[in-house]
């Protein structure tokens, strides 16, 4: 099937889910662990750009991009070609046994793209969680310290260490303990919920005071932070927060580790979210959009830190798989060739122009926020800041029924987030936003006055 023939247009030919999806869902119930859930039970047959075609022939608009993964679009031609060419040559050797060029080339690309001008090195892994685990290993090794600082609302993965770093109990942590030791949580800058007028510097001071009082700077290996929090609710810290935290780390020999797994690769309108305020992390984790849909993750960091780990200290059977590396090189080229950072900024403007005004007529929309193509709405009970998860759920369901894939998130489950492929066409994005606006009107209409 040539996916380039798939029209970039929403088109429903059955109710959602359709009969074929329902049949697959029956098989799923009998075969798949119910602990692994899906946002909507519509089974995908093929996909292109920002369109998912399901097993009943419906075309849905994808405003989630597989959770910020296919930024270059589904079945991006350069990625498809690179994957096909590589898998025909060899699919796997294990870089730790017999190395190959694509791994080296991905590391070179990441070292160049990552913020800061100091020499850097990269190591490759399979998933975001694995990258975060390795960033912590490196930070502990080079500092000889153990404590890791994570933030309220943080999400870093589902493995034991990263689950311990993740803030939210349900569904990520509940009854999955014991948790990894030496993880300490401090307040994030959350402008919508912080005291009015709290600056980024003040929010940093609040966090730092807690670190110094509860842990002690000398015990801290690293401060790990998402420069814009993803699963926690698309929380954009106040200006000045990240630079102040990074400066404190520098002054105290603490590794500043930025988790750019969700924010990386043009999503926020820059290559990385740290770029926005010129923050240079000591270590940076990436995954998701790095390889256009293939599983690949990385830790990129200052050469002096990365070089301090003993030979053989990091690795894994599949880390930096050649097919995933070929996909990454093609994805990165596509982002450069098509200037997807600029595309993300344009998407941000379109979303803000369409959704921003809804706030005036719907007091249930507490906040419209985000950066670039990482935008969200936080839903609250009108006249309060009390989270309204039910409204978020109903709005998302209405979008799903109409063939628009939107995701929710947030510590309180009350945030609707948009993460479209960065190649989404203007008209298609407009249609998706119209559906979302209609769903908001429908669900919040009681609160319109």
The half-sphere exposure of 1 on its side-chain side, counting CA atoms within 13 A, is 9
The residue from 49, 157, 319, 322 that contacts ligand PLZ (CB under 6 A) is 157
Give me the least distance between CB of 405 and ligand PLZ, in Å please: 14
**What part of residues 290-349 is at the interface with ligand PLZ (CB under 6 A)?**
none
The residue from 135, 261, 365, 428 that contacts ligand PLZ (CB under 6 A) is 261
Q: Judged by CB under 6 A, does residue 378 bind ligand PLZ?
A: no
Q: Judged by CB under 6 A, does residue 431 bind ligand PLZ?
A: no
The residue from 6, 223, 257, 287 that contacts ligand PLZ (CB under 6 A) is 287
The residue from 10, 74, 120, 156 that contacts ligand PLZ (CB under 6 A) is 156
**3-class secondary-structure state, position 183:** strand
Q: Judged by CB under 6 A, does residue 141 bind ligand PLZ?
A: no
Of the pair 76, 409, the CB lying nearest ligand PLZ is at 409
Q: Which tokens is 275 given?
A: 């770029």
Give me the least distance between CB of 128 and ligand PLZ, in Å please: 2
Which one, of 226, 265, 280, lies nearest residue 116 by Cα? 280
Q: Judged by CB under 6 A, does residue 155 bind ligand PLZ?
A: yes
Residue 253 and residue 363: Cα distance in Å, rounded? 45
The residue from 133, 259, 282, 388 that contacts ligand PLZ (CB under 6 A) is 259
C-alpha pair distances (Å), 448 with each of 153, 358, 365, 415: 30, 10, 10, 19
Of the pair 297, 428, the CB lying nearest ligand PLZ is at 297
Radius of gyration of the chain (CA): 22
Q: Judged by CB under 6 A, does residue 417 bind ligand PLZ?
A: no
Q: Which tokens is 370 given?
A: 């985000």
CA 274 remoteness from chain centre: 14
Give me the least distance between CB of 67 and ligand PLZ, in Å please: 5
Which strands form 120-125's sheet, in the order they lie side by side? Answer: 120-125, 297-302, 283-286, 255-259, 220-225, 147-151, 183-186
Scanning the structure block, which residue is given the tokens 């074929």? 20
Residue 370 and residue 376: Cα distance in Å, rounded? 6
**3-class secondary-structure state, position 274:** helix
Window contacting ligand PLZ (CB under 6 A); options: 223-231, 318-326, 372-380, 387-395: 223-231
Give me the least distance between CB of 231 and ligand PLZ, in Å please: 6
Q: Judged by CB under 6 A, does residue 231 bind ligand PLZ?
A: yes
C-alpha pair distances (Å), 254 with each of 147, 159, 222, 241: 10, 24, 5, 16
- Which residues lie below 8 Å from residue 216, measured CB to CB, with a gap of 6+? none
Window contacting ligand PLZ (CB under 6 A); options: 41-49, 109-117, 128-136, 326-334: 128-136
Q: Judged by CB under 6 A, does residue 405 bind ligand PLZ?
A: no
Backbone angles phi, psi at 51, to 5 degrees: -115, 135
The residue from 17, 66, 115, 128 that contacts ligand PLZ (CB under 6 A) is 128
Of the pair 59, 164, the CB lying nearest ligand PLZ is at 164
Q: Judged by CB under 6 A, does residue 401 bind ligand PLZ?
A: no
Q: Judged by CB under 6 A, does residue 132 bind ligand PLZ?
A: yes
Q: Are 240 and 261 in contact (CB under 8 A)?
A: no
Which DSSP letter does residue 6 get?
Answer: S
Window contacting ligand PLZ (CB under 6 A); options: 126-134, 182-190, 413-421, 426-434: 126-134
Window contacting ligand PLZ (CB under 6 A); options: 123-131, 354-362, 369-377, 418-426: 123-131
Buried b (16+ CB within 10 A) or exposed e, 232-258: bbbbbbbebbbbbbbebbeeeebbbbb
Give me the least distance between CB of 230 and ligand PLZ, in Å please: 4
Q: Binding mask 44-83 vs ligand PLZ (x if CB under 6 A, - otherwise)?
A: -----------------------x----------------
Residue 84 and residue 371: Cα distance in Å, rounded? 34
Of the pair 267, 302, the CB lying nearest ligand PLZ is at 267
**3-class secondary-structure state, position 88:** helix
Q: Judged by CB under 6 A, does residue 122 bind ligand PLZ?
A: no
Q: Judged by CB under 6 A, does residue 129 bind ligand PLZ?
A: yes
Q: Are 155 and 230 in contact (CB under 8 A)?
A: yes
Tell me the pairing of strands 220-225 and 183-186: unpaired
Number of chain residues interacting with ligand PLZ (CB under 6 A): 16
Q: Which residue is nearest to ligand PLZ (CB)?
A: 128
Residue 378 and residue 176: Cα distance in Å, rounded? 29
Q: Judged by CB under 6 A, does residue 262 bind ligand PLZ?
A: yes
Name the site residues for ligand PLZ (rule: CB under 6 A). 67, 127-129, 132, 155-158, 226, 230-231, 259, 261-262, 287
């Amino acid at each position: 099937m040539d996916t380039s023939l798939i029209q970039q247009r929403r088109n429903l030919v059955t109710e959602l889910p359709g009969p074929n999806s329902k049949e697959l869902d029956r098989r799923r119930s009998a075969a798949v662990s119910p602990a692994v859930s899906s946002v909507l039970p519509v089974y995908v047959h093929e996909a292109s750009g920002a369109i998912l075609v399901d097993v009943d022939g419906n075309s849905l608009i994808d405003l989630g991009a597989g959770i910020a993964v296919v930024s270059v679009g589904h079945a991006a031609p350069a990625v498809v070609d690179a994957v096909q060419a590589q898998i025909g040559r060899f699919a796997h050797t294990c870089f730790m046994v017999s190395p190959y060029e694509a791994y080296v080339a991905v590391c070179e690309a990441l070292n160049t793209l990552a913020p800061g001008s100091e020499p850097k090195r990269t190591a490759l892994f399979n998933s975001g969680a694995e990258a975060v685990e390795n960033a912590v290993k490196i930070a502990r090794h080079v500092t000889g310290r153990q404590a890791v600082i994570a933030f309220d609302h943080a999400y870093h993965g589902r493995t034991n260490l990263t689950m311990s770093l993740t803030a939210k109990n349900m569904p990520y942590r509940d009854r999955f303990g014991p948790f990894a030791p030496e993880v300490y949580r401090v307040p994030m800058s959350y402008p919508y919920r912080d005291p009015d007028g709290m600056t980024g510097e003040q929010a940093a001071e609040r966090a730092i005071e807690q670190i110094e009082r509860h842990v002690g700077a000398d015990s801290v290996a690293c401060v790990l932070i998402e420069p814009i929090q993803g699963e926690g609710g698309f929380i954009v810290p106040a200006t000045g927060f990240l630079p102040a935290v990074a400066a404190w780390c520098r002054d105290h020999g603490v590794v500043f580790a930025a988790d750019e797994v969700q924010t990386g690769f043009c999503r926020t309108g820059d290559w990385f979210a740290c770029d926005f305020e010129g923050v240079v992390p000591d270590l940076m984790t990436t995954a998701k959009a790095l390889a256009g849909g293939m599983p690949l993750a990385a830790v990129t960091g200052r050469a002096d830190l990365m070089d301090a780990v003993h030979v053989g200290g990091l690795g894994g059977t599949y880390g930096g798989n050649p097919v995933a590396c070929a996909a990454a090189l093609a994805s990165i080229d596509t982002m450069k060739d098509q200037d997807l950072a600029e595309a993300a900024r344009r998407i941000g403007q379109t979303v803000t122009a369409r959704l921003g005004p809804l706030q005036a007529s719907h007091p249930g929309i507490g906040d419209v926020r985000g950066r670039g193509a990482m935008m969200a709405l936080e839903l609250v009970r009108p006249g309060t800041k009390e989270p309204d998860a039910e409204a978020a759920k109903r709005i998302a369901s209405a979008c799903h029924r109409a063939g628009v894939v939107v995701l929710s998130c947030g510590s309180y489950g009350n945030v609707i987030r948009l993460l479209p492929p960065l190649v989404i066409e203007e008209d298609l994005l407009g249609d998706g936003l119209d559906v979302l606006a209609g769903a908001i009107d429908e669900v919040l209409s009681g609160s319109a006055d």
